[in-house]
Amino acid sequence: MAEPAPGRWEATAMVGVDDPAVHQLRSLLTLAEELHFGRAAARLYLTQPALSQQIRTLERRLGVQLFTRTSRRVTLTPLGHALLPLVRNVVDAADELRDAARHSPDDGDGPTLRLGLTDCAAALAATRRVIATLTTLHPGLNVDFHVLDLVEQTTALAIGKIDAAFVYLPAPEGFHAEPLTTEPRVVCVAASDPLARQPVLRLADLADRPMVGLAPEVSPSERSFWAMDPRPDGTRVRYTGHQVTRVESLLSAVSFDGATAFLPAVAAELFPRPDVRYRPVEGLVPCDFGVVWPADDQEKPGIALLQEVCCRLRDQGLPAGTMPAPAAPPAAVESAGDESAAAGTAAGTGPAGGLGVSFG
């Protein structure tokens, strides 16, 4: 059995049920400074609809109106203005708490690097190789892992809850990206769809099929890339009314509602379902997988070490997709001798890819 990986793993809930969330309060402060949804959303790495939704949710949870909105301007209400000092105190206290936790004595003397990743990213060979190499070369680095969905990752990066994230590119504006691997994309169609009977599809075959809608927090560049919108002939894509943030929800929309979606080819291995078929598409641009972090954080110690490892492994050549299955049962591997087993672990290609995962 593989040994537990260095670092702490946790599944992170980004939003409480009733109480205002810190990232919503931070959005309030930013909008109060800008008094313009477009500029505030850009500073927060959000779309305008996503920021509007956050403010509406915050107003509902507080039971008050914080802003007066017209077609020409945005202004704080008197009560909204009066609450600003309290909101700022809460956000500052949250930042102090986060910084104190990051530099607690139990973490040792080294820097802390908080990494976000989705369930899908955690299974990829590139992710596991980067983490294994990072913790081996820099044992003094304290690494924490946060399992998040696509939208939660972007929000967590923007508010400083995590330092970097393993994601499929492109990254939203304002983030630095280090590509690691490239892989084909496939289209997902319902098993009952006549298109599922064809081994290979063309983009023209999908012209009358809507794409599954993504959550409004997904950046326009990401939405455009993953829907290939517009298509090469200039046609705009139709979307369903869904607002998904996770692959399983996306696949359910494909299965039940006759929609389509483009995903990395590895999804066929990670998310096998009897009601969904994955098919290659001629002319569909491949996708890159990599690590992203806020562009302003380039000089942080943990980020500098992460970038060094990413560049080194990319130059050596990282495998796309998931870790390969063990070539032989444990007894046969042991009989091959310590030397071969050690070589497999060092390369990150052993039974657990040199990385054991433990979720608390």
User: What mean pLDDT do residues 66-82 have?
Assistant: 91
Candidate CATH numbers 3.40.1190.20, 3.40.190.10, 3.30.465.10, 3.40.309.10; the one for domain 185-285: 3.40.190.10
Cα 268 from chain centre: 19
Identical fold between 15-102 and 185-285: no
pLDDT at residue 346 is higher than 90: no
pLDDT tens track for 191-232: 999 999 999 999 999 999 999 999 888 888 899 999 999 999
* Domains of the chain by residue range: 15-102, 108-178+289-322, 185-285
Amino acid at site 132: A
The pLDDT value recorded for residue 21 is: 84
The pLDDT value recorded for residue 273 is: 94
pLDDT at residue 323 is higher than 90: no
pLDDT at residue 11 is higher than 60: no
Counting residues of the chain whose pLDDT is more than 90, the rounded percentage is: 50
pLDDT at residue 127 is higher than 50: yes
pLDDT tens track for 278-315: 999 999 999 999 999 999 888 888 999 999 999 999 99
Domain spanning 108-178+289-322: CATH superfamily:
Periplasmic binding protein-like II (3.40.190.10)
Distances (CA, A) of 78 to 64, 209, 210, 236: 11, 49, 45, 43
Residue 284: which residues within 8 A CB-CB, separation 6 or more?
Answer: 184, 185, 186, 187, 203, 228, 262
Instruction: Give the residue with greater pLDDT, 8 vs 134.
Output: 134
Beta bridge partners of 214: 244
Half-sphere exposure of 248 (CA within 13 A, CB side): 4
The pLDDT value recorded for residue 137 is: 94
Q: What CATH number should be reported for the domain whose range is 15-102? A: 1.10.10.10
**pTM flag (> 0.85):** no
| pLDDT, mean over the chain | 82
Instruction: Give the residue with greater pLDDT, 334 vs 23.
Output: 23
